[in-house]
């Protein structure tokens, strides 16, 4: 009998007549593989998942899948009947991980609207850009975001719905849905499979963030791809895993406006009938308490948060034995943390993957023994995607040779919202998408990310464009030159570093106060080095950023 391999198991699971059967198809006219038995749209995904099983847990609030669906249907009625939301209309959601985020998202996407997952950390001017860029018809926001919205200088022509608000300026969602107390079904208005469902904003290396537009097929293909990876991992085990002691439950600690939070944690819960325990904000001690109390079986978060949980697990007396997997996303883990996850939890195995907002968070995945043996790898390619690594001339690189990583397939987004220029730069040879990552693949198909072409810092899973930070620094009258780069950080993966040519030595307080008016808090450099002479440059006049970055890493390391 031939030895099972990942490729042979996936071929078996995706064959004709199987639940994960893959068939040739198209998305946006691009050739790709489609899951034959996938729900057609998010509307169908939500409707199919209705049950009495527990779904949303937030503090003392609890809702089953059926109760959540009915509550979302009432929000949908409000949007259609009171706000005239039609297919293709954009509704912006800006709040913490409250149940209302999920209800709003379900309502908008089920009626064919586009849910704009606004970054809840944005300052007023960034909010104004996002709302204007997407052309939002309605904004649904909590009090903290409403306060920022009120600080926008130029009034916007948008209807606003308040959530958990103390203010009386806008209608409150809780009051609006009362008219539909008896409703349990969504309105008749529904999307088509290739209609855009979501807009998520992602920072580029320069300028304003870009809106990533994904359709229902993109999103559902990503969810099905994770299911297929899990099924194939089980098939490859030497013996069947023991029956689970606890029903599936996950901790929602990453923001829902991130692809990791919205797709891997939240949306992946429907078909798994997985309980979703939401946290107001990240707190490792509170996380350990919730894992023990709610018998959490899985946790997915960037390296900074999983690292915090490892420390808490070793410090705490909490019973965390229900935890079976600790997944990663958004930023790579240090190899030591990978090994520490296995050591720190009774049953949990580490996992991670590489994906982008543009691929709906899928790409490659790795877990268990594969990950422990290759802690620097991001895993092997999803069955509905293809990867290739090319050199500077566009030729495919041989095994172990680094080059630019390209991806194509079913979950790859339609394109950037109103940005034909960015699309022309991003898509090559028709349907291959440039990722901006430098990577190589080994002889077994495992991907290793080694560098970044795009000028970005990825801090705890949050993309920060170096150009944006440099532009803010250069507004200071005493700053003549600025170079911003990533500095390695054990907890967050990377921190923002900057080297400046200044008239005089600026105090930390002066610089931070100046930047606070121009940048969101997480973008302000943690490490700043100043000199009263020009920064080093190449013969062609470019600042030697790589050299400055290496100097900074050496200083921080020392």
Query: Nearest Cα to 411, choosing from 6, 97, 35?
Result: 35
Mapped onto helix, strand or coil, the DSSP state of residue 164 is coil
Same domain, 310 and 295: yes
- Per the CB < 8 A criterion, the answer to whether 50 and 64 are in contact is no
Q: How many CB atoms lie within 10 A of CB 420?
A: 9
Same domain, 30 and 46: no
- Per the CB < 8 A criterion, the answer to whether 374 and 447 are in contact is no
Q: How many CA atoms lie within 13 A of 180 on its CB side?
A: 22
- Per the CB < 8 A criterion, the answer to whether 118 and 94 are in contact is yes
Q: What are phi and psi of 23, to 5 degrees?
A: -130, 150
- Per the CB < 8 A criterion, the answer to whether 450 and 439 are in contact is yes
CA dihedral 291, 174, 105, 356 (to 10 degrees): -50
Same domain, 227 and 253: yes
Residue 240 has what DSSP assignment? P
The string over 89-126, giving b where at least 16 C-beta atoms fall within 10 Å of a residue's C-beta and e elsewhere, is bbbbbbbbbbbbbbbbbbbbbbbbbbbbbbbbebbebb
Q: How many CA atoms lie within 13 A of 260 on its CB side?
A: 24
Sequence length of the chain is 558
Q: Which helix (H) or strand (E) holds 295?
A: none
Predicted pLDDT at 1: 56
Can you give the three-state secondary structure of 262-273, one letter per residue?
HHHHHHCHHHHC
Same domain, 110 and 132: yes
Residue 55 lies in a domain: no
Q: The domain spanning residue 437 has which CATH number?
A: 3.40.50.12780
Q: Which helix (H) or strand (E) holds 404?
A: strand 403-409
- Per the CB < 8 A criterion, the answer to whether 139 and 173 are in contact is no
Residue 57 lies in a domain: no
Q: How many CB atoms lie within 10 A of CB 59?
A: 11
Same domain, 77 and 121: yes
Residue 469 lies in a domain: yes
Q: The domain spanning residue 549 has which CATH number?
A: 3.30.300.30
Same domain, 115 and 130: yes
Cα gap 409→386, rounded to integer Å: 6
Number of domains in the chain: 3
Query: Nearest Cα to 22, choosing from 409, 432, 405?
Result: 409
Residue 316 has what DSSP assignment? -
Structure tokens at 194: 């290739």
Q: What are phi and psi of 244, to 5 degrees?
A: -65, 140
Same domain, 325 and 339: yes
Ranges of beta strands (E only) in 66-187 are: 90-94, 114-117, 138-142, 159-163
Residue 159 lies in a domain: yes
Chain Cα centroid distance, residue 122: 16
Same domain, 552 and 421: no
Same domain, 291 and 435: yes
- Per the CB < 8 A criterion, the answer to whether 433 and 426 are in contact is yes
Q: Which of 436, 452, 468 is the last residue of a domain?
A: 452
Predicted pLDDT at 446: 95
Q: Which of 452, 471, 499 is the last residue of a domain?
A: 452
Query: Nearest Cα to 351, choosing from 278, 275, 250, 257?
Result: 250
Predicted pLDDT at 194: 98
Structure tokens at 96: 């913490």
Q: Which of 174, 202, 230 is the last residue of a domain?
A: 202
Same domain, 177 and 225: no
Same domain, 161 and 277: no
Residue 414 lies in a domain: yes
Predicted pLDDT at 412: 98
User: Which segments in the chain show pLDDT lower than 70?
Assistant: 1-2, 204-206, 329-332, 334, 538-542
Residue 210 lies in a domain: no
Structure tokens at 259: 């692809």
Whole-number CA gyration radius for the chain: 23
Residue 1 lies in a domain: no
CB-based contacts of 360: which residues, under 8 Å, 6+ apart? 214, 218, 219, 221, 222, 259, 263, 411, 413
Q: Which helix (H) or strand (E) holds 199?
A: strand 196-202
Bridge partners of 196? 215
Cα gap 278→98, rounded to integer Å: 7
- Per the CB < 8 A criterion, the answer to whether 433 and 407 are in contact is yes
Residue 58 lies in a domain: no
Structure tokens at 392: 């500077």
Ranges of H-type helices in 111-184: 124-134, 143-150, 173-176
Place of tokens 């095994």: 399
- Per the CB < 8 A criterion, the answer to whether 269 and 300 are in contact is no
Burial of 64 (0-12, 13-18, 19+ CB in 10 A): middle
Q: Which domain holds residue 477?
A: 456-557
Same domain, 197 and 312: no
Structure tokens at 465: 């464009």
- Per the CB < 8 A criterion, the answer to whether 77 and 185 are in contact is no
Structure tokens at 1: 């009998």
Cα gap 231→225, rounded to integer Å: 10
Cα gap 218→410, rounded to integer Å: 6
């Amino acid at each position: 009998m031939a030895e099972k391999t990942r490729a042979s198991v996936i071929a078996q699971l995706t064959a004709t007549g199987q639940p994960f059967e893959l068939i040739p198809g198209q998305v946006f006219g691009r050739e790709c593989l489609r899951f034959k038995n996938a729900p057609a749209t998010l509307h169908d995904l939500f409707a199919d998942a209705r049950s009495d099983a527990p779904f949303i847990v937030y503090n003392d609030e609890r809702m089953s899948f059926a109760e959540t669906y009915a509550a979302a249907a009432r929000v949908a009625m409000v949007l259609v009947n009171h706000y005239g939301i039609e297919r293709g209309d954009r509704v912006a959601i800006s709040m913490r991980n409250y149940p209302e985020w999920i209800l709003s998202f379900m309502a908008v996407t089920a009626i064919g609207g586009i849910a704009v997952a606004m970054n809840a950390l944005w300052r007023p001017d960034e909010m104004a850009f996002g709302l204007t860029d997407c052309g939002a018809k309605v904004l649904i926001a909590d009090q903290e975001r409403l306060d920022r919205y009120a600080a926008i200088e130029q009034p916007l022509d948008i209807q606003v719905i308040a959530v958990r608000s103390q203010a009386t300026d806008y209608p409150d969602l809780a009051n609006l849905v009362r008219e539909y107390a008896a409703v349990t079904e969504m309105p008749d208005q529904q999307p088509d499979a290739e209609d855009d469902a979501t807009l998520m904003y992602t920072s580029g290396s320069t300028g304003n963030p870009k809106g990533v537009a994904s359709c229902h097929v993109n999103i559902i293909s990503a969810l099905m791809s994770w299911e297929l990876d899990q099924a194939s991992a089980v098939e490859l085990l030497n013996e069947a895993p023991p029956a689970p002691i606890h029903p599936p439950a996950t901790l929602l600690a990453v923001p829902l406006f991130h692809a990791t939070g919205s797709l891997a944690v939240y949306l992946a819960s429907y078909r798994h009938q997985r309980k979703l325990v939401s946290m107001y904000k990240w707190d490792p001690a509170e996380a350990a308490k919730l894992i023990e109390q709610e018998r959490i079986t899985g946790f997915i978060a960037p390296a900074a948060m999983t690292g915090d949980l490892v420390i808490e697990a070793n410090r705490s007396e909490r019973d965390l034995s229900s935890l079976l997997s600790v997944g990663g996303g958004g930023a790579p883990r240090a190899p030591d943390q990978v090994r520490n996850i296995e050591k720190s939890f009774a049953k949990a195995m580490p996992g991670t993957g590489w994906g982008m907002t543009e691929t709906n968070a899928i790409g490659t995945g790795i877990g268990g023994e594969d990950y422990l043996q290759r802690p620097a790898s991001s895993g092997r390619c999803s069955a509905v995607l293809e990867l290739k690594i090319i050199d500077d001339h566009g030729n495919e690189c041989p095994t172990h040779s680094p080059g630019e990583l390209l991806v194509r397939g079913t979950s790859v987004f339609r394109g950037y919202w109103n940005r034909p220029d960015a699309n022309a730069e991003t898509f090559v040879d028709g349907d291959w998408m440039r990722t901006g990552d430098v990577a190589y693949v080994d002889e077994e198909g495992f991907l290793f990310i080694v560098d970044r072409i795009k000028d970005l810092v990825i801090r705890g899973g949050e993309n920060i464009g170096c150009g944006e930070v440099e532009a803010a620094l250069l507004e200071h009258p005493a700053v003549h030159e600025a170079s911003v780069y990533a500095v390695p950080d054990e907890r967050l993966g990377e921190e923002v570093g900057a080297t400046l040519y200044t008239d005089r030595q600026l105090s930390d307080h002066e610089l931070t106060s100046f930047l606070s008016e121009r940048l969101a808090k997480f973008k302000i450099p943690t490490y700043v080095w100043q000199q009263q002479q020009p920064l080093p440059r190449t013969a062609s006049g470019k600042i030697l950023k790589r050299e400055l970055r290496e100097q900074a890493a050496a200083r921080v390391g020392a």
